[in-house]
Structure 1
């Protein structure tokens, strides 16, 4: 066998091994993705740092001792639009009772989010997750996605994409995480 043919054989073999490794890793990652980033009741909520619409920095750890209703949302999400007025109504009552709402917008421009906030007259902090890092850490796939965090920093409940929530549901959520 000539040197050229041997070299070609080695290169083709190396490329084949690299491709097989990539396919194997992809299969492994996809089979295990359901277990990555998913929070369960009783887990410690991961700390994060995000900036709100006014440029203020918020860390989950800043709210230690308070209940936190952490809501991931988008302006394009119909259930998000329907639940925002309920969230704002209960926030006005519960913010003085030790419960905070942190609404995390995932990946949208400030202009679009600001227009939405003005339209719905929202009074709770709107945090911007432009790079979707917090969304990833919390394992959020579908919107809306809410995580109820107790004063101890542990997850009390996870609510994913429900279109039928009422104002009373939100009151119940706030009561369940009130200190």
Structure 2
């Protein structure tokens, strides 16, 4: 009887500790502010679907669109063809698009992006998502030729909206 009481008490202490930790970590956790307009975009290195490494700072001198997305996201699916169209239109003007997927498998991503010509990067450890504090997808960040964030757009973009935002980051205008 005494052993049973000790085991029950120990079990209750463990459950209470787990609940306390969960509540604490959800309400008291450290939060990071989303990268703001005017900030220098945090640098990163990610691999594309072919294993080639892409470092954001290597694109200095170009306008860059970072598009954070996932294959299960309907607005992501809708805007991907418009991103491709704008990539073809603006690449010769010094604008790059880097699509950053949130840790899905290479198989899933390749299947989804077979008609896309801009670099598709997979953030396997979600490090870039965390450094940019991305909570909602799609999110697009428009960065000018000096590496400064010019526009942040959360949610799906129309073709016209993509064009208007890309116009903000064309180098040497």
Pairwise CA RMSD of aligned residues?
2.2
CA distance in 1, matches of 2:106, 2:132: 22
Native 8 Å contact 1:37 1:137 kept in 2? no
TM-fit CA distance, 1:46 = 0.2
TM-score (norm 1): 0.81
Native 8 Å contact 1:37 1:136 kept in 2? no
Structure 2, unmatched stretches of 5+, are 1-12
CA distance in 2, matches of 1:41, 1:160: 13
Number of the residue aligned with 2:142? 148
Count residues in correspondence.
158
TM-score (norm 2): 0.83
Number of the residue aligned with 1:91? 87
What whole-Å deviation, never above 9, does each CA across 1:91-145 have from its counterpart, x for those lacking one? 0011110100000011100001000111xx1110000101111001000011101
CA distance in 2, matches of 1:113, 1:25: 35
Number of the residue aligned with 1:136? 130
Native 8 Å contact 1:43 1:154 kept in 2? yes
> Which of 153, 157, 164 does residue 159 from structure 1 map onto?
153
TM-fit CA distance, 1:79 = 0.2
Mark the structure with the bigger radius of gyration: 1
Native 8 Å contact 1:48 1:134 kept in 2? yes
TM-fit CA distance, 1:28 = 2.6
Cα 1:24/1:83, change in 2 over 3 Å: closer
TM-fit CA distance, 1:166 = 2.1
CA distance in 2, matches of 1:28, 1:53: 37
Structure 1, unmatched stretches of 5+, are 1-14
